[in-house]
Chains A and B, each alone.
Chain A
Amino acid sequence: MFDGERQARWRARLALGLLLAPALIWLGALIVLPHVDLALLSFRARVGPRSYVASLAQYRTFFQEPLYWHVFVRTAVMSILATLLTLLLAFPISWVIAKLAPGRAGSLLFVLCLIPFWVSETVRTLGWMILLRESGVLPALLTWLGVTQAPVELLYHDATILVGLVYTSLLFMVIPLISSLESLDNSLIEAACDLGAGGFAILRTIVIPHAAPGITAGCIVVFMLTLGNYLTPTLLGGKNSQWFTEQIYTQFITRFNWEEGAAFGFLLLGLSTVMVVTGLKLTGQRFGDVMRRT
């Protein structure tokens, strides 16, 4: 009896281990290991051919060089801006899908949000370039309408980068928002209205508090995606984009300075962590609650 019980328990443990194995391998081999290696890289400096010493030189360089600083802060600010814009745009869309469009119409609208993601991000972004470049569709249209005298270059502006980032991120905001708005009981809205609340009061006192975990989840995901985005800022912003991921790319690939690149990578990770923690603290949310909503 005792033996059989122990065997059963051992078998259960084996099953659990096997089920978890892919996740553990993924986590260990693809995330933890490279990061450990990157951490080691970032804390050493090259003193001669194939000779390295432990040093904080890489991080010192970052703080001493204004360009790196500037790009770092700019990336953070632009990412926050893109996140807020995405939220502003996604909220009404999610509201319509979750609350106003009945059944099939709601699903259809959701599919419309999803369809652009069937196309690769590169192709989508190139599509934006076709629309916005000086000889592109939109400048031609503006000229034809008489808004501008000659076609203007709409690429390579900060606004262009923001448009691209919002476009890329929209779905990741819409999904958690829909799920949190769908779970809002309509009778709560009616009750608030019945008790004298107008549209804005209902939004502020009922809808936003209810959707807060969804809003936070969407913002965290969008912020992380935007901060780590490489393609969109590079293609739409050109040389002016000054995105921090480009600096990392440059260090690794162009300069072959892996030590500096690794340090930058960790700085970006740190930035993203600090922003997420600050965001959660400011809105009084807990990470666990928020992630259950996504």
Chain B
Amino acid sequence: MSAADLVADAVSKRFADHVAVDSLSFSVEHGSFFSILGPSGCGKTTLLRMIAGFIAPDSGDIAIGGTPMRGVAPNRRPVNMVFQQLALFPMMSVGDNVAFGLARRGVARAERRRRSLAMLERVGLAGAAGKRVDELSGGQRQRVAIARSLVLEPTLLLLDEPLGALDLKLREHMKIELKQLQAAFGTTFVYITHDQSEALVLSDHVGVMNAGRFEQQGTPQDLYYRPQTPFVAAFVGANNRIVGRATASNAGLVQITTADGWTLHARGRGPIATGDAVEAFVRPEVVSLARHARELPEGRPAHAGHVQSVLFDGANSAVLLREAGTRREFRIALPQTGQFSDLKPQEAVMFSFDPERAVCFAARHGAAGQDV
């Protein structure tokens, strides 16, 4: 923690009728890839713009590279930003775009040219310096935007959902490229996104943001396997959410009974008393599927259901079924063995899961009874 490139201390920003960022504190280590993940409207863009200096926090402090940033204009911060729509300058060549920041710093023309050409080469765009911005493909523009920032050797590179405008295939490709670029340059990246897959793939650390606060900070594995709040469990990765009441509790293992009478078990997180409204989450891939109860792993409560539909998506294929008693929807990832490739709608199946790998929270205030 000694080399934190970004430290936010109780940063708040309020707009007329709502709190966009609510007393947020976090720090980002030097050389790491930090993502802020949240749904749109959660305040992540406001947070990023406060770090860049385009808006000032109402209270709290932001320090970059150990220097407090209060009152420092955006053009004087050791921070550069890759904008959502990239904001490349169409009136300049690619080379001039990359050299723009150097020119503003008064770097001599020859040196400017040398450094911007070297940077373009590092991002795999050697020979593009003389081109117009609109002659480049989406992925190439992305790299120009990053090169334009990195050539200034900022302490911190901010990225505002830069992959949002790309089509799916290119987005997958750019994800890998971004991670490799960050590793190659060693610059600290702060990345905001609403796409949990981007955050999980790219980041060393992720802050999951909701309503102006971080619900949880941690490694992608932490968020996925050990969610601390129902919001994180629901937002990060696919999950089956079951709302009910805790009807029994044994050494942290909670028995949940839904309003319509389905009973299941999950590991409780936080204080849960019998009778409390609870939310349980079961990941599709922890559930075992079988045609007969005897084929299921032993020692787990078994549930019955009917196949509603088979969602074939290659390695991400899943089956959507209805629990036999309550007709509740439940999603189960299909194993890669091809064992269930002939599954048909309406077929009766059995399923079970290890209650230790399912998680249960006391219901959020006002969320009880809601079902999704």
Q: Which partner residue on chain A sits nearest B84 by CB separation? A: A187
- Shortest Cβ gap from A210 to chain B (Å): 6
If A195-B148, A210-B91 are given as contacts, then 12 extra A-B residue pairs at C-beta distance below 8 Å, sorted by A number, are A187-B87, A191-B83, A191-B88, A192-B89, A192-B100, A193-B75, A194-B75, A194-B81, A195-B75, A195-B152, A196-B105, A206-B91
**Is there an interface contact between A187 and B85, defined as CB atoms closer than 8 Å?**
yes
Q: Which residue of B lies closest to A191 (CB)?
A: B87
Given contacts A194-B74, A197-B75, A206-B91, contact A187 B83 (CB under 8 A): yes
Q: B101 contacts A188, CB within 8 Å? A: no
Interfacial residues of chain A within 206-223, with CB under 8 A of chain B in the complex:
206, 209-210
Interface residues contributed by chain A, number (CB under 8 Å): 17
Q: Does B217 contact A (CB under 8 A)?
A: no
A196 neighbours in B (Cβ, 8 Å) = 75-76, 101, 104-105, 152
Complex Cα–Cα for A194 and B154 (A): 11
Given contact pairs A185-B85, A187-B85, A190-B87, A195 touches B54 in the complex (Cβ within 8 A)? no
- Complex CA gap A210/B88 in Å reads 13
Closest-CB distance, A198 to chain B (whole angstroms): 6
What 4 A-B pairs have minimum CB-CB distances, sorted nearest first? A195-B101, A191-B87, A196-B104, A187-B87
A278 at the interface (CB under 8 A from B): no
User: Would you call A197 and B104 a contact (CB within 8 A)?
Assistant: yes
Sample of 7 A–B contacts (CB below 8 Å): A185-B87, A187-B87, A190-B81, A190-B83, A192-B89, A195-B104, A205-B100
In-complex Cβ contact of A195 among B73, B84, B85, B149 (8 A) = B149
Q: Give the docked Cα–Cα distance between A26 and B212 (Å).
A: 64
Within 8 Å by CB of A190, from B54, B79, B88, B152, lies B54
Chain B residue at smallest Cβ distance from A189: B87
A200 vs chain B, min Cβ distance (A): 11
Residues of A within 8 A of B75 (CB): 193-198
Complex-state Cα separation, A209 to B93, whole angstroms: 13
B105 (CB) vs chain A CBs: closest residue: A196
User: In the docked arrangement, what's the CA distance between A210 and B105, Å?
Assistant: 22
Q: How far is the CA of A188 from the CA of B88 in the complex (A)?
A: 7
Q: How many angstroms from the CA of A142 to the CA of B236 in the assembled complex?
A: 73
Pick the most buried of B92, B104, B105, B152: most chain A CB atoms within 10 A of its CB: B104
